[in-house]
């Protein structure tokens, strides 16, 4: 990986602003201890029931007018609380990262949250961002005193996670690839046997690395920004996750490139507590409207146009 930058200006700016309070009022994540390399990763339990992870709960009736949520619903409680609380990260460029100039956390995932806030309040700024550890994305709803209403954080909906949370219909389809140095000849995990490959702790990407037949060494970090730093400091040979996330990492490092074909399917869903299926149905109605009125496409064009022309929005599937 000769000539690789140890830290790019963009990454330094991102890291330097972690403590800046944004206009959306994100709560900082608690400091996490360093995560050691993970030579073995446990996959989903063998007893996990099979399911269609893309199929969610069908909306019931038309969307209520903003500010007039049905009495007794979870949406009415959120309206009473005065803010929709969104659990997410602040280091996933293009999806949920802190803008170095404004201090606001922004991106495709944040705009999905703003759509839901708009539908509840009539104001997309009625959104409070709570930064959560990557590995806590499905656990956050069960924590005592936690006020997160939903999690939007590049999270793959799968059958194991459906045991812990409910998911919306799919709002983005992606797949896992590799980030390597510009001078690298690596084209897939088969070329990385015995070498360190970084992914976020608690991600399906880490499990997929561990399952690769060539036996690359999975290295867990607290988030994708930490993986990029490990890559730039030659601690790992590559970073592997969804190509949409890798595009954001590559934009921060002129000595990196995204390679290889997709070797997984990763349908992103919005995670919601199993205690509030009415909120899941409501979110699905908001997503359905965004597909129909062009909002989904314009949001894709705003944040992900570097990946090429906007595809058709993922079609909703219902149980």
pLDDT by 10s per residue, the chain, length 319: 434 444 443 333 333 333 333 334 455 444 433 434 444 444 444 467 899 999 999 999 899 999 999 999 999 999 999 999 999 998 888 999 999 899 999 999 999 999 999 999 999 999 999 999 888 899 999 777 779 999 999 999 999 999 999 999 999 999 999 999 999 999 999 999 999 999 999 899 999 999 999 999 999 999 899 999 999 999 999 999 999 999 999 999 999 999 999 999 999 999 999 999 999 999 999 999 999 999 999 999 999 998 889 999 999 999 9
Is 223 in the same domain as 240? yes
Is 132 in the same domain as 166? yes
Is 146 in the same domain as 251? no
Position 115 in a domain: yes
Q: Which neighbouring-strand residues pair with 63?
A: none
Nearest to 256 by CA among 182, 178, 176, 185: 182
Determine the Cα–Cα distance for residues 27 and 269; give it in Å rounded to an integer: 22
Final residue before a domain boundary, out of 228, 243, 259: 259
Q: Which neighbouring-strand residues pair with 177?
A: 241
Is 103 in the same domain as 163? yes
Is 245 in the same domain as 135? no
Position 85 in a domain: yes
Position 61 in a domain: no
Position 48 in a domain: no
Is 166 in the same domain as 186? no
CATH number of the domain at 215, please.
Answer: 3.40.190.10
Q: Which domain covers residue 227, as residue numbers?
A: 32-41+175-259
**According to the 3-state scheme, what is the secondary structure of the chain?**
CCCCCCCCHHHHHHHHCCCCCCCCCCECCCCCCCCCECCCCCCCCCCCCCCCCCEECCCCCCCCCCCCCCCCCHHHHHHHHCCEEEEECCEECCCEEECCCCCCEECHHHHHHHHHHHHHHCCCCCEEEEECCHHHCCCHHHCCCCCCCEECCCCECCHHHHCCCEECCCCEEECEEEEEECCCCCCCHHHCCCCEEEEECCCHHHHHHHHCCCCCEEEEECCHHHHHHHHHCCCCCEEEEEHHHHHHHHCCCCCEEEECCCCCCEEECCEECCCCHHHHHHHHHHHHHHHHHCHHHHHHHHHHHHHCCCCCCCCCEEC
Helix axes 108-121, 277-293, angle to 10 degrees: 110
Question: How many C-beta atoms lie closer than 10 Å to residue 227's C-beta?
Answer: 30
Is 168 in the same domain as 271? yes
Is 103 in the same domain as 86? yes
Is 81 in the same domain as 164? yes
Determine the Cα–Cα distance for residues 144 and 82; give it in Å rounded to an integer: 20
Contact 28, 131 (CB under 8 A): yes
Position 22 in a domain: no
Is 82 in the same domain as 208? no
* Domain total of the chain: 2
Is 157 in the same domain as 225? no
Is 116 in the same domain as 157? yes
Position 47 in a domain: no
């Amino acid at each position: 990986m000769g000539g690789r930058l140890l830290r790019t200006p963009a990454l330094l700016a991102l890291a330097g602003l972690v403590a800046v309070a944004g206009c959306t009022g994100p709560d900082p994540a608690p400091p996490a201890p360093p995560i050691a390399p993970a030579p073995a990763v446990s996959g989903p339990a063998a007893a996990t029931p099979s399911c269609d992870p893309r199929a969610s709960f069908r909306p019931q009736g038309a969307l209520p007018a903003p500010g007039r949520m049905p009495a007794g619903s979870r949406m009415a409680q959120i309206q009473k609380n005065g803010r929709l609380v969104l659990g997410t990260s602040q280091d996933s460029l293009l999806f949920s990262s802190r803008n170095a100039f404004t201090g606001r956390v922004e991106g495709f995932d944040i705009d999905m949250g703003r759509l839901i806030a708009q539908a509840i309040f009539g104001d997309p700024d009625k959104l409070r961002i709570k930064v959560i550890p990557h590995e806590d994305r499905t656990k956050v709803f069960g924590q005592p005193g936690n006020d997160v209403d939903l999690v939007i954080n590049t999270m793959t909906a799968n059958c194991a996670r459906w045991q812990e949370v409910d998911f919306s219909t799919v709002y983005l389809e992606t797949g896992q690839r590799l980030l390597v140095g510009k001078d690298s000849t690596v084209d897939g995990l088969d070329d990385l046997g015995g070498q360190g490959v970084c992914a976020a702790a608690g991600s399906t990407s880490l499990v997929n690395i561990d399952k690769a037949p060539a036996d690359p060494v999975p290295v867990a970090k607290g988030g994708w920004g930490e993986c990029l730093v490990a890559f730039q400091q030659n601690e790992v040979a590559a970073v592997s996750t969804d190509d949409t996330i890798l595009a954001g990492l590559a934009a921060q490092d002129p000595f990196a490139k995204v390679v290889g074909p997709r070797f997984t399917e990763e349908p992103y869903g919005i995670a919601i507590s199993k205690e509030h299926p009415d909120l899941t149905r409501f979110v699905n109605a908001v997503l359905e409207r965004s597909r129909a009125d062009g909002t989904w496409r314009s949001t894709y064009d705003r944040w992900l146009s570097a990946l090429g022309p906007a595809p058709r929005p993922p079609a909703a599937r219902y149980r």
